[in-house]
């Protein structure tokens, strides 16, 4: 609060509109998308069915990240087992061959487990990467009302960096789609 | 018809009490960690902590004196340690089944219990991993099981099922932890946003990673959750299969059976559901979660217990049949003579009666919907499934091919202390989890409510107008800290 009284140049950084139902936020998202905004987002306490289409979002690319991790796990496991037991220190147990292809059947469990292990890391880390998480600092957190976005309220945020952004026009648009409350968040500009 | 509506033809009931509001769900679940702990929690916690203390003392003594302090002796070299390991790993399986397999089958009733069950998986696998860790005799050489370069330039033998087990259980633990944490992120954000003190906001905020419910995030998040569920499904089936191969690839009668992998998986799910139910019933009464964990959920779990009980009973019967059908004298001596009439006949009875006979009560709806009955039955199943592993391990080893080398296993006080101690460790971790983390997934419960459906309107048209008059209750009356997210001071 002290910093605010220093009165540096402040400019709107994001505009937040609050909605009270998933129906209202979905409808508003359709309108914002139609109006041609690109740097905006919807914030909901749970994923709202149909929101991706309303926002014009494409399918997640996460699957590609996961499959590349999975294949890495699979080949890594094979190379590890074949090199360790077959090449570097041939280990003959029960008169069975030391390395591949003779040991392939006994490799199956570990091939499988490491594929799964790496896929899981791929899914979680890939999701963090695509979402740019962790990111503890964001303009929406400046709003006190935004605390309800994880409870039972639904928000739409439009960033000032959007080429179509204009405080009055954007605010008017959000009020037109029955926003319960509209708030302009300002940040220091240096 | 909207997806949240119960299908009347199937006699379905709503998943959350009709008329519940989103905010009530948040409040019911999140406030558990915000109120002082109820007296019941403290009583349970102190008991659990006592057993954790017993565990610590027994393990310290074990490390000091060596594994000779256990009753393991020739010919029973594997006894309670591996029994406990298999029992704990099995318990974990229900958690993954509920969170992953039921998710893929879109069984929405799982939302009331999945977080819980996932937590149980993690704590059960921690308890399981303790046993291979402490049973090796020289625990400081445990790293030999990992493919690490060592002074003997020797690598682990990848043809050994015991090594497969290291990878299977290790992967299982890691994936369960990732799955659990991924599911927790949005709920941690809720706790962060509701926090009234700085330190709560900092700690929950740190682990919530700055989650802001963004739909651009939900898109990847939901996909990640789906993929994790999809890969956990074969994983959970593989883990106990690999555990069973520790036995099935040996030549001991009683272990050397091809039925083991599916038999172990069915048993694991059976015992895990029983443990989920035991813990859930305690939590439901201690923390008063009757609005979220409904009788309907408990009844469904009891039906599941009945089904898996029948599967386990089938496996027991099939072991008998195959022993006779094989015509192998060692198999027949083991299954038809030693198990039911040998020195451990009482353990065999404890295996058959609680696992196959008692759950038959659940054919009756009155039994399925009675809280005292299901609590007692779930305890019986937990005990019965422990005895199943005891029978498989100890009674198979105590009489092998040569009568001259037969012997008996008797547990020592340290055996008892370590085992009951891990139950204490499990409940200590579980009670801490219930106290400080949302034990029901708020996000997922809200997602199954009518309000989550964008086409839902309570009384006809214009739902948004109607909500205008909805007063902003509960949280707005409380003072709010100046920063919403985890924003460092002076960043404004």
Q: List, as one string, the DSSP characters of B90-129.
A: HHHHHHHIIIIIHHHTT-GGGGGTHHHHHHHHHHHHHHHH
What confidence tier does A187 reach under pLDDT thresholds 50, 70, 90? confident
What confidence tier does B442 reach under pLDDT thresholds 50, 70, 90? confident
Q: Check pLDDT > 60 for residue B136.
A: yes
Average of per-residue pLDDT across B418-445 = 91
What confidence tier does A189 reach under pLDDT thresholds 50, 70, 90? confident
Other CB atoms within 10 A of residue B191 CB: 26
Domains of chain B: 24-148+155-452 (1.20.1630.10)
Among the partner-chain residues B153, B212, B463, the one whose CB lies closest to the CB of A140 is B212
- CA-CA distance, B316 to A123, in Å (whole number)? 39
Higher pLDDT, B108 or B223: B223
Instruction: Assess B168–A contact: CB distance below 8 Å, yes or no.
Output: yes
- Residue A181 · residue A27 · CB < 8 Å: no
A contacts of B145 (beta carbons < 8 Å): none
Q: Check pLDDT > 70 for residue A5.
A: no
pLDDT, position B458 = 55
Other CB atoms within 10 A of residue B405 CB: 11
DSSP designation for A186: E
- Residue A42 · residue A55 · CB < 8 Å: yes
pLDDT, position A190 = 62
pLDDT, position B318 = 93
ipTM of predicted complex: 0.90
* B219 to chain A, closest Cα gap in Å: 6
Provide the percentage of residues in chain B whose pLDDT is more than 70.
Answer: 89
* pLDDT digit string, tens, across residues B243-298: 999 999 888 888 988 899 999 999 998 999 999 899 888 888 877 777 777 888 88
Q: Check pLDDT > 90 for residue A6.
A: no
Other CB atoms within 10 A of residue B3 CB: 12
C-alpha distances in Å from residue B417, one per residue of A120, B74, B408, B410, B421: 36, 22, 20, 14, 6
- Element housing B103 (H / E): helix B102-104
Q: Compute the mean pLDDT over every residue in chain A, rounded to the nearest whole number.
A: 87
Q: Is A140–B245 a contact, with Cβ atoms under 8 angstroms apart?
A: no
DSSP string across B241-280: HHHHHHHHTS--TTT--TTHHHHHHHHHHHHHHHHHHHHH
- Where along chain A do its domains lie? 2-60+137-188, 62-131
B contacts of A121 (beta carbons < 8 Å): 178
Average of per-residue pLDDT across B210-224 = 91
- Strands A154-159 and A10-19, by their bridges, are antiparallel
- Residue A137 · residue B227 · CB < 8 Å: no
Which CATH number applies to A2-60+137-188: 2.60.200, 3.30.70, 3.30.200, 2.60.40? 3.30.70
Q: Is A157 helix (H, G, I), strand (E, B) or coil?
A: strand
Using only C-alpha atoms, chain A has a radius of gyration, in whole angstroms, of: 26
DSSP designation for A187: E
What confidence tier does B317 reach under pLDDT thresholds 50, 70, 90? very high
- Reading the block at residue B216, the tokens are 């651009």
pLDDT, position B209 = 92
Residue of B nearest to A26 (CA): B454
List, in order, residues 6 or more apart from A100 with CB less than 8 Å away.
A78, A82, A86, A107
Instruction: Assess A68–B contact: CB distance below 8 Å, yes or no.
Output: no
Spatial strand order in the sheet of A181-188: A40-43, A154-159, A10-19, A181-188
List, in order, residues 6 or more apart from B29 with CB less than 8 Å away.
B289, B292, B438, B439, B440, B442, B445
Count of H-run helices and E-run strands, chain B: 19, 0
Residue that is written with structure tokens 């558990």 in the block? B32
Among B23, B472, B6, B35, residue whose Cα is nearest residue B288: B35
List, in order, residues 6 or more apart from A95 with CB less than 8 Å away.
none
B contacts of A112 (beta carbons < 8 Å): 234, 238
- Reading the block at residue A165, the tokens are 């952004």
Higher pLDDT, B482 or A86: A86
* pLDDT digit string, tens, across residues B23-44: 888 888 888 888 888 888 899 9
Residue of B nearest to A81 (CA): B158
A155: which strand partners?
A18, A43
A43: which strand partners?
A155, B214
Average of per-residue pLDDT across B77-99 = 89
- CA-CA distance, B52 to B421, in Å (whole number)? 5
Weakest mean pLDDT among B226-235, B400-409, B474-483: B474-483
C-alpha distances in Å from residue B205, one per residue of A144, A147, B191, B284, B383: 15, 12, 8, 27, 41
pLDDT, position B107 = 78
Instruction: Assess A4–B contact: CB distance below 8 Å, yes or no.
Output: yes
Q: Check pLDDT > 60 for residue B231.
A: yes
A19: which strand partners?
A154
pLDDT, position B262 = 92
Average of per-residue pLDDT across B462-475 = 42
What confidence tier does B9 reach under pLDDT thresholds 50, 70, 90? low
- Reading the block at residue B465, the tokens are 């107008």
Average of per-residue pLDDT across B449-455 = 77
Average of per-residue pLDDT across B379-383 = 95
- Strands A181-188 and A10-19, by their bridges, are antiparallel
pLDDT, position B478 = 40
Using only C-alpha atoms, chain B has a radius of gyration, in whole angstroms, of: 25
- CA-CA distance, A153 to B8, in Å (whole number)? 31
* A69 to chain B, closest Cα gap in Å: 12
- CA-CA distance, B121 to B94, in Å (whole number)? 7
pLDDT, position B267 = 93
pLDDT, position B349 = 95
Weakest mean pLDDT among A97-101, B153-157, B302-306, B457-461: B457-461
Instruction: Assess B483–A contact: CB distance below 8 Å, yes or no.
Output: yes
- Element housing A154 (H / E): strand A154-159
Q: Check pLDDT > 50 for residue B313.
A: yes
Chain A to chain B Cβ contacts (< 8 Å): 269
Among the partner-chain residues A42, A80, A91, the one whose CB lies closest to the CB of B157 is A91
* pLDDT digit string, tens, across residues A136-181: 888 888 888 888 888 888 999 998 888 888 888 888 888 888 888 8
Name the most confidently modeled range: A6-10, A45-49, B8-12: A45-49
- CA-CA distance, B125 to B117, in Å (whole number)? 12
DSSP string across B12-63: ---SS-TT--HHHHHHHHHGGGTSPPPHHHHHHHHHHHHHHHHHHHHHHHHH
Q: Check pLDDT > 60 for residue B489.
A: no
Average of per-residue pLDDT across B440-458 = 79
Higher pLDDT, B425 or A50: B425
**Would you tell me the crossing angle of helices B80-96 and B114-134 to the nearest 10 degrees?**
160
Higher pLDDT, B470 or B156: B156
Q: Is A119–B231 a contact, with Cβ atoms under 8 angstroms apart?
A: yes
């Amino acid at each position: 609060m002290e910093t605010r009284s220093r009165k540096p140049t402040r400019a709107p950084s994001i505009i937040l509109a609050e909605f009270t139902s998933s129906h209202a936020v979905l409808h508003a998202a359709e309108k914002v998308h139609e109006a041609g905004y690109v740097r905006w987002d919807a914030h909901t306490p749970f994923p709202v069915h149909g929101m991706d289409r309303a926002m014009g979002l494409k399918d997640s690319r996460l699957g590609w990240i996961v499959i590349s991790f999975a294949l890495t796990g699979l080949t890594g496991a094979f190379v590890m087992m074949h090199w360790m037991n077959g090449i570097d220190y041939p280990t003959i147990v029960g008169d069975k061959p030391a390395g591949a292809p003779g040991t392939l059947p006994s490799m199956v469990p570990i091939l499988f487990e490491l594929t799964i292990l790496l896929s899981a890391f791929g899914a979680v880390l890939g999701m963090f990467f695509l979402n740019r998480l962790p990111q503890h600092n964001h303009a929406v957190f400046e709003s006190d009302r935004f605390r309800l976005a994880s409870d039972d309220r639904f928000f739409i945020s439009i960033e000032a960096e959007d080429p179509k952004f204009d405080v009055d026009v954007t605010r008017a648009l959000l009020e037109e789609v029955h926003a319960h409350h509209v708030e302009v968040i300002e940040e220091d500009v240096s | 018809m909207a997806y949240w509506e119960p299908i009347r033809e199937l006699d379905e009931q709503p998943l959350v009490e009709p008329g519940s509001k989103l905010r009530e769900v948040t409040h019911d679940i999140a406030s558990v960690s915000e109120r002082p702990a109820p007296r019941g929690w403290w009583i349970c916690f102190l008991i659990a902590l006592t057993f954790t203390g017993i565990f610590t003392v027994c393990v310290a003594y074990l490390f000091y004196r060596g594994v000779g302090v256990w009753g393991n002796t020739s010919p029973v070299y594997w006894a309670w340690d591996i029994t406990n390991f298999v029992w704990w790993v099995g318990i974990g399986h229900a958690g993954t089944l509920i969170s992953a397999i039921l998710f893929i089958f879109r069984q929405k009733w799982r939302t009331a219990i999945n977080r819980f069950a996932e937590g149980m998986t993690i704590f059960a696998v921690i308890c399981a991993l303790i046993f291979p860790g402490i049973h090796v005799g020289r625990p400081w050489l445990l790293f030999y099981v990992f493919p690490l370069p060592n002074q003997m330039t020797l690598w682990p033998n990848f043809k050994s099922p015991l090594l497969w087990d290291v990878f299977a259980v290790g992967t299982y633990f890691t994936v369960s932890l990732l799955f659990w944490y991924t599911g927790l992120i949005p709920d941690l954000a809720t706790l962060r946003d509701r926090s009234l003190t700085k330190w709560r906001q900092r700690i929950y905020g740190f682990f919530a990673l700055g989650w802001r419910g963004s739909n651009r995030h939900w898109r990847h998040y939901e996909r990640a959750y789906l993929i994790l569920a999809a890969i956990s499904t074969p994983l959970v089936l593989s883990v106990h299969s690999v555990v069973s191969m520790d036995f099935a690839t040996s030549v001991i009668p009683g272990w050397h059976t091809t039925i083991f992998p599916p038999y172990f998986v069915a048993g694991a799910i059976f015992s895990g559901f029983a443990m989920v139910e035991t813990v859930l019933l305690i939590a439901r009464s201690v923390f008063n979660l009757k609005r979220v964990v409904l009788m309907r959920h408990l009844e469904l779990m009891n039906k599941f217990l009945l089904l898996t009980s029948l599967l386990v009973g089938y496996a027991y019967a099939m072991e008998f049949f195959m022993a006779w059908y094989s015509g192998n004298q060692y198999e027949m001596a083991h299954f038809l003579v030693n198990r039911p009439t040998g020195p451990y006949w009482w353990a065999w009875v404890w295996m058959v009666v609680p696992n196959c006979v008692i759950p038959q009560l659940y054919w009756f709806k009155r039994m399925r919907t009675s809280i005292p009955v299901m609590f007692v039955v779930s305890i019986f199943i937990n005990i019965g499934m422990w005895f199943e592993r005891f029978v498989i391990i100890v009674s198979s080893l105590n009489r092998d091919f040569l009568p001259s080398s037969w012997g008996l296993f008797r547990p020592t006080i340290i055996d008892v202390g370590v085992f009951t101690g891990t139950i204490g460790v499990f409940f200590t971790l579980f009670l801490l989890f219930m106290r400080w983390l949302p034990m029901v997934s708020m996000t997922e419960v809200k997602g199954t409510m009518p309000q989550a459906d964008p086409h839902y309107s309570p009384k006809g048209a214009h739902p948004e107008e109607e909500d205008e008059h909805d007063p902003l209750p509960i949280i707005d009356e409380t003072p709010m800290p100046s920063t919403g997210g985890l924003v460092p001071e002076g960043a404004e």
